[in-house]
Amino acid sequence: MRPDAAAKRDTFFAAIGSRSLLMGIVNVTPDSFSDGGRFVAPEAAIAQARAHVAASAAIIDVGAESTRPGYTPVSEAEELARLEPALTALIASVDVAVSIDTTKAGVARVALAAGAAVVNDQWGLQRDPAMAVVVAEGEAGLVIMHNRDDIDAAIDIMDDMRRFFDRSLALADRAGIPHHRIILDPGIGFGKSKAQNLAALHGIAALRGYGLPVLVGVSRKSLFAALIGATDVADRLIGTLAANLAAAARGAAIFRVHDCAENRAALTVFDAIERA
């Protein structure tokens, strides 16, 4: 890993636990559910990343393939074509770590060479067999997200998450990925019913038993349409804030969000109360 990226990586991981941290989302996609098409142009992506950092984001998460419900998968070549025009300049434009949101080892390898410091894998090393080696060789941090191909409302989602994380952590261990550079994500909105999403959020405290930081990504999710009737994405901020505060109370450390300023204000109040 490049020395500048390694320094940003280490600064990010060292800050975990000192306060609630924000991961600012930058989607360079034409079809993301919340902001598809808004940040495809490199200038727009860079401006959004800078705005997140100005609002106290500790890390920027860049993704070039939508994973919204009903999304159309793209090839590695297409994902890189979307990503590469902005990535190097974006990384150079911010003084915090940048993570690459991808399930493809080839995309992760290119992003790490460009200066990304963390791989945010929505399949937790279990979709692309080469991903664990790429993360290990790149000395990257890793977000392991729980995922399922299909929703099965009959299963105990916490048991399923434990089995998934056990497999992913075994893959990470075999590849030589250091334990202290791993973050767990319960994968809210991925392969779960409404009840299972709520159970996953409620069960965050149990996930802390792994001794690893927990990241939560509920920002603007369709869960809030089901809970509070917020069918318009623009109306889901208050639901996002409520869910993130509930997650913080259960031990979540990092929050992947679109609206950094508002989440920073809410979590600053939460942190002040917790420290009082």
d(CA 191, CA 69): 10
**Other residues' Cβ atoms within 10 Å of the Cβ of residue 197:** 24
106-165: pLDDT as tens digits? 999 999 999 999 999 999 999 999 999 999 999 999 999 999 999 999 999 999 999 999
- Longest Cα–Cα distance in the chain: 51
Q: What integer pLDDT is reported at residue 37 of this predicted model? A: 57
- Which residue in 221, 236, 264, 275 is the catalytic one? 221
Confidence category of residue 234, pLDDT binned at 50, 70, 90: confident
- Which residue in 181, 192, 256, 264 is the catalytic one? 256
Name the burial class of residue 126, with classes exposed (0-12), middle (13-18) and buried (19+) by CB atoms within 10 angstroms of its CB: middle
Name the burial class of residue 2, with classes exposed (0-12), middle (13-18) and buried (19+) by CB atoms within 10 angstroms of its CB: middle
What mean pLDDT comes out for the span 6-19? 98
Name the burial class of residue 232, with classes exposed (0-12), middle (13-18) and buried (19+) by CB atoms within 10 angstroms of its CB: exposed
CA distances to 128, 148, 222, 251 from 248, in Å: 31, 24, 20, 5
Q: Does 256 qualify as catalytic in the annotation? A: yes
| Topology at the third CATH level for domain 3-275 | TIM Barrel (3.20.20)
d(CA 119, CA 92): 17
d(CA 24, CA 207): 23
CA distances to 25, 193, 233, 266 from 238, in Å: 18, 21, 11, 10
Name the burial class of residue 51, with classes exposed (0-12), middle (13-18) and buried (19+) by CB atoms within 10 angstroms of its CB: middle
Identify the DSSP state of 4: H
Identify the DSSP state of 153: T
98-116: pLDDT as tens digits? 999 999 999 999 999 999 9
Tokens of 225: 């349409």
Compute the half-sphere exposure of residue 49: CA atoms within 13 Å on the CB side of its CA: 30
Tokens of 185: 């994500």
58-113: pLDDT as tens digits? 999 999 997 766 667 889 999 999 999 989 999 999 999 999 999 999 999 999 99
55 alpha-carbon distance from chain centroid: 17
| Residues contacting 146, CB < 8 A, separation 6+ | 124, 160, 161, 164, 165, 184, 185, 186, 187, 190, 200
198-216: pLDDT as tens digits? 999 999 999 999 999 999 9
Tokens of 181: 């550079």
